[in-house]
Structure 1
Amino acid sequence: MVGSRIRELRAARGLTVTELARRAEVSTGLISQVERELADPSLVTVRKIAKALDVPLFSLFEESETDDVAVVRRHTRMQIQSPGGILYSRISAGRGRLEVLQGTLAPGTASADEPWSHPSEECAVVIAGKLVVEVAATERALDVGDSCYFNSRLPHRYVNPHRKPAEFIISITPPSY
């Protein structure tokens, strides 16, 4: 499904496979294989492609809906595993100006090897365990019920240095994960 969505968005922007590959800093062959559903790209690759297409990452996995009201059932939530150890489950419908995700970060892991940025605003609230939010090289320790709001243009990542999983809800506007 992600391959056909990438092809659709690439074509809508008038980009060739080569142009998209250059913008995403991946090989032309990889883009071609992904679009033809011959390869499953890593989350890092999908993130690069989404950035090159100027769309939120989760939009590459969604099907078009036109309803003004959307219900997302828990058992039908889209999930994606980040290389850093976060399992994301999309709570929101995946369209519009707000994205809401539930994240679970395994003990001793981080959302990314290095902090990264994207053009959004973000708010995270811890619902189980403890979480460290690293923004602009400053760490903020959060307990259950604590939240942290920040400009996502600042390099950031989520870290769980503890022995139990951390669960949290993230709201991002506009969607850009």
Structure 2
Amino acid sequence: MTGARIREIRTQRGLTVAQLAEAAGVSTGLISQVERDRTDPSLETLRKIAKVLQLPLFSLFQEEDAKTVSVIRADSRMLVASPVGGITYSRISPGHGRLEMLKGHLPPGGYSAAEPWSHPSEECILVIEGQLVVEVSGVRHQLGVGDSCYFHSSLPHRYLNLTEEPVDFVIAVTPPSY
């Protein structure tokens, strides 16, 4: 399903598999396998593809029929996990519109990215369980349950769990970005 969406958007943009692969810094074989749903790309690979296609990351999973009111059931949320850092995100917003809401989970010692990264959005994060470090422009902000942090995502950032307990949090991103 994701692969077909990537192929559809790539062809709409007039890109070949080789052009997308080169711009994303991955192999043509990987793009080909992803488009045929033969492999599940990592979160980092999906971010690279979304950036080249100039789309918000989660729009690669977007449902086409935008409704006036959307109910997202807890047991049917779209889930994205990264094999590096251990972070998982589930989308709690419908996947269309100008606001994206995600529930994040980091295991002990986990992180959202090996190195801070940026994208053209604004974010607000709320810790619902555990302790989270939000690193923005090299400055670390320690958050506990109920604490929140707002920042421009154009600043290099990442999330870290430096504790021995898992952490759960909610992120609002506007506009949705890669």
The TM-score normalised by the length of structure 1 is 0.95
- Secondary structure, aligned partner of 1:125: strand
Partner of 2:113: 112
Q: Is the 8 A contact 2:66 2:96 kept in 1?
A: no
- State the 1:42 CA deviation: 1.8
Equivalent residue runs for 1:16-165 within 5 Å: 16-82=16-82, 83-165=84-166
CA distance, structure 1, for counterparts of residue 37 and residue 163 of structure 2: 38
CA distance, structure 2, for counterparts of residue 165 and residue 39 of structure 1: 28
- Secondary structure, aligned partner of 1:110: coil
CA distance, structure 2, for counterparts of residue 157 and residue 129 of structure 1: 17
Partner of 2:172: 171
CA distance, structure 1, for counterparts of residue 174 and residue 63 of structure 2: 20
CA distance, structure 2, for counterparts of residue 66 and residue 96 of structure 1: 8
Partner of 1:10: 10
- State the 1:111 CA deviation: 1.0
- State the 1:37 CA deviation: 2.0
The aligned amino acid for 2:147 is D
CA distance, structure 1, for counterparts of residue 46 and residue 13 of structure 2: 17
CA distance, structure 1, for counterparts of residue 17 and residue 138 of structure 2: 37
CA distance, structure 2, for counterparts of residue 164 and residue 109 of structure 1: 10
Percent of paired sites with the same residue: 63
Q: Is the 8 A contact 2:63 2:95 kept in 1?
A: no
| CA RMSD, 1 decimal | 1.1
Gaps of 5+ in 1: none
